[in-house]
Amino acid sequence: MNMHSPSNNMKGDFDLSQSDFERIAQVAKVGWGLNLDKAKRPLIKSRLMKRLRALELPDFATYCELIEAKDQNEIGHFITALTTNVTSFYREAHHFEYLENGVIPDLIERAKQGERVRLWSAGCSSGQEPYSLAGSLLSFDKQASSYDLKILATDIDALVLEKAKRGAYPQDDCTFPSPSHESRILKPDADGSQREVHEALKSLISFRHLNLVDQWPISGKFDVIMCRNVAIYFDKPTQARLWSRFRQCLQPNAHLFIGHSERIADPDAIGLKVAGTTTYRPHPMTISA
């Protein structure tokens, strides 16, 4: 039973006042580091109106009370509405070309020798990125899942993580750079509108819910971190802290990949060097006297 009185505005418009927008922005910033610029107010209003109607709430003020109380039934929908889960298989293909040409062969060889190898897809959305990573690894060695080689896939949005775990996608979402890339990832066409990923890919991936501005319950360092088109939701200070934290999680010869619209302002200051387009590697930091 709905705790709130049904709205008389089920099909109409809702007024998102400046004060209500500021309340929403405050919750988003404090809870998840999301930076909601005032220019985004019309977009936020449009997206959250769907939640007001679904919950039969009378106004945005009532919705603000709900999210300020961190209502567990609504927080997932709130995060989904504030973020754009746009992704695709082998998105920003130059990163995967870089990996396959100069990184993955070494990772596979090290894993064969019994070394621990870890990759992290931070902000994995509905799963296409980690599945693409797994497909690249398995294309070099079909036995990759038998080594100490794993992909950690995390996201702030618990709802899209459930979709990622299922590994089933509408046909319209299944575009690839080539047919060979498609065959790496997806089972042959089946009846119905959904395409499923190969089970071997799932065996390489652990999906976990993680808020990047909170503590990271992570042990060990990574050989590859992909955090692409996530930092765009953060303000500059939060971005800087994120890049620095990633640097501390990198193995000495590791790689950090970020989104096409993102840049690390002063990589040298945190011990990173540019290795390619939106691609970074660690180097020892020079400590001033």
Indicate which CATH number applies to the domain containing 53: 1.10.155.10
Does residue 269 sit within a domain? yes
Residues 262 and 161 in one domain: yes
- Grade residue 3 by pLDDT with cuts at 50, 70 and 90: very low
Residue 4 within a domain:
no
Q: Is 106 a catalytic residue?
A: no
- State yes or no: is 155 an active-site residue: yes
- Asked whether the predicted pLDDT for residue 2 surpasses 50, the reply is no
Confidence of residue 286 (pLDDT cuts 50, 70, 90): very low
Same domain, 69 and 187: no
**Is 87 inside any structural domain?**
no
How many angstroms separate the CA atoms of 67 and 81, rounded? Answer: 13
Which of these is catalytic: 47, 110, 116, 281?
47
Stretch 230-248: mean pLDDT, rounded? 94
Structural domain contains residue 105: yes
| CATH code for the domain of 116 | 3.40.50.150
Q: Which position among 155, 157, 184, 247 bears the catalytic label?
A: 155
Beta bridge partners of 169: 195
Token pair 């010869």 is found at 253
Q: Which domain holds residue 114?
A: 93-282
42 and 174 co-located in one domain? no
- Asked if residue 98 and residue 77 are part of one domain, the reply reads no
Does 36 share its domain with 165?
no
Radius of gyration of the chain (CA): 21
- Give pLDDT tens digits for 119-178: 999 999 999 999 999 999 999 999 999 999 999 999 999 889 999 999 999 988 899 999
Domain count, the chain: 2
Tell me, what's the pLDDT at 7? 46
Q: Are 68 and 200 members of one domain?
A: no
Domain for residue 221, yes or no? yes
Residue pair 254/223 in contact (Cβ under 8 Å)? The answer is yes
Q: 100 and 24: one domain? A: no
Cα gap 186→234, rounded to integer Å: 33
